[in-house]
């Protein structure tokens, strides 16, 4: 297990290093270079030259990358001149809020989707299976912005149960107003449940056809025992993959949902930066998402090895 973990960790480091190279090259491919992108189209040649010299952009490309990488390792991912703040401070303020939003949605989705998927597999091609499948397809195919608007119209405007806007302010302010989180979390939960349910159902149906499951049934084991002891663990493998792939979503934030509900998380930060052409925030967020992608893949592989020892032995 140690050798497997070290090998996957080394691969993740290489992936992250590749992401930093791509992001660094993109900053140099901006029209007019980073100075023009940050200072604006009206910046004078003298101002651009002074900015390049102050930030080391007049040095060789390899030297620039090394300086940028050393700053990145220490947590310096750039400075937003439009917000007059470091990108790292902006990310540190927004990231916990997005972790709360997407983490809560995924946790609730897991609790709901796994039992539903197993129930569908056990009652395959029956009314229960068709009903859950139909509802799942509706939510899975529905755009997030449209689902968000429908929930706001029904629960906020018609019933007046929850506020249409997510709580503002810091992390403590968000926790102090949990009612404002209901609709954003519900939006993400409905879509995620639809996705997780389909994967759980397919995996459970395949597991039910395995020899060890038929043997357990032949020995007189009840359906509950068969599902909990022999089907559940193997059916979790595709869900583990989905959890690993959702980690970048946790970091980048559900951009659409945060924009609709004005939730001050990573997604809204990226959206506002794109509208104002705040390149340091865009590039800093891209690096963080790239790191999260590598970590998510590493986490999925490690959980695979824990759940199924055959995978660990094969690798």
Q: Which residues is 86 bridged to in the sheet? A: 79
pLDDT digits (tens, 9 = 90+) for 17-38: 888 888 788 777 766 677 777 7
Residue 191: pLDDT over 80: yes
Out of 34-48, 68-82, 198-212, pick the least confident. 34-48
Contact status, residue 94 vs residue 284, Cβ threshold 8 Å: no
Average pLDDT over residues 169-183: 84
Of 12-16, 35-39, 192-196, 299-303, where does the model show the most confidence?
192-196
Cβ partners under 8 Å of residue 190, min gap 6: 139, 147
Q: Which residues is 79 bridged to in the sheet? A: 86
Residue 308: pLDDT over 80: no
Residue 269: pLDDT over 80: yes
Distance between CA atoms of residues 267 and 256, nearest Å: 7
Q: Which percentage of the chain shows pLDDT scores above 70?
A: 92
Out of 93-97, 130-134, 283-287, pick the least confident. 283-287
Distance between CA atoms of residues 44 and 46, nearest Å: 5
pLDDT digits (tens, 9 = 90+) for 31-69: 667 777 777 777 788 888 888 788 777 788 888 888 888
Assessment of whether the complete model's pTM goes beyond 0.85: no
φ and ψ of 202, to 5 deg: -60, -40
Average pLDDT over residues 122-137: 87
Distance between CA atoms of residues 222 and 218, nearest Å: 10
pLDDT digits (tens, 9 = 90+) for 259-268: 888 888 888 8
CA-based angle 188:250:266, to the nearest 5? 95
pLDDT of residue 153: 92
Please list the residue range(s) of the chain that carry CATH number 1.10.3720.10. 96-314
Written as one string, the DSSP assignment of the chain is -HHHHHHHHHHHHHHHHHHHHHHHHHHHTSTTHHHHHHH-TT--HHHHHHHHHHHTTTS-HHHHHHHHHHHHHTT---EETTTTEEHHHHHHHHHHHHHHHHHHHHHHHHHHHHHHHHHHHHTTTSHHHHHHHHHHHHHHHS-HHHHHHHHIIIIIIIS--S-SS---SSHHHHHH-GGGGHHHHHHHHHHHHHHHHHHHHHHHHHHHTSHHHHHHHHTT--HHHIIIIIIHHHHTHHHHHHHHHHHHHHHH--HHHHHHTT--SHHHHHHHHHHHT-HHHHHHHHHHHHHHHHHHHHHHHHHHHHH-HHHHHH-
**Which value, in Å, is the radius of gyration of the alpha carbons in the chain?**
24
Helix axes 87-122, 127-141, angle to 10 degrees: 160
Indicate the CATH number for domain 96-314.
1.10.3720.10
251: confidence class by pLDDT, cuts 50, 70, 90: low
Residue 310: pLDDT over 70: no
Q: Which of 283, 292, 278, 308 is nearest to 81 (CA)?
A: 278
Residue 115: pLDDT over 70: yes
Average pLDDT over residues 236-242: 75
Lookup: tokens for 113: 């989707």
Residue 315: pLDDT over 60: no
């Amino acid at each position: 297990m140690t050798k497997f973990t070290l090998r996957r960790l080394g691969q993740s480091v290489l992936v992250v290093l590749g992401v930093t190279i791509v992001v660094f090259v993109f900053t140099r491919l901006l029209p007019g270079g980073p100075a023009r992108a940050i200072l604006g189209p009206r910046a004078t040649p003298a101002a651009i030259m002074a900015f390049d010299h102050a930030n080391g952009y007049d040095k060789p490309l390899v030297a620039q990358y090394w300086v940028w990488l050393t700053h990145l390792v220490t947590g310096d991912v750039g400075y937003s001149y439009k917000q007059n703040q470091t990108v790292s401070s902006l990310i540190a303020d927004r990231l916990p809020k997005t972790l709360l939003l997407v983490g809560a949605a995924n946790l609730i989705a897991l609790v709901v989707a796994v039992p539903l998927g197993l129930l569908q597999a056990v009652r395959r091609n029956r009314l229960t299976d068709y009903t859950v499948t139909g509802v799942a397809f509706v939510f899975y195919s529905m755009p997030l912005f449209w689902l968000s608007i429908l929930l706001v119209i029904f629960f906020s405007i018609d019933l007046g149960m929850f506020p249409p806007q997510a709580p503002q302010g810091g992390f403590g302010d968000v926790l102090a107003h949990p009612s404002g989180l209901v609709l954003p979390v519900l939006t993400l939960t409905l879509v995620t449940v639809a996705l997780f349910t389909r994967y759980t159902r397919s995996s459970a149906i395949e597991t039910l056809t395995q020899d060890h499951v038929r043997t357990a049934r032949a020995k007189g084991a009840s359906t509950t025992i068969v599902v909990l002891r022999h089907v559940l663990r193997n059916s979790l493998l595709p869900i583990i993959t989905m959890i690993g792939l959702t980690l970048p979503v946790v970091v980048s934030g559900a951009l659409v949902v945060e924009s609709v509900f004005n939730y001050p998380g990573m997604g809204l930060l990226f959206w506002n930066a794109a509208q104002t052409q705040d390149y340091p925030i865009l590039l800093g967020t891209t690096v963080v998402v790239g790191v999260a992608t590598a970590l998510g893949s590493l986490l999925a592989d490690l959980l695979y090895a824990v759940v199924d020892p055959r995978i660990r032995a094969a690798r």
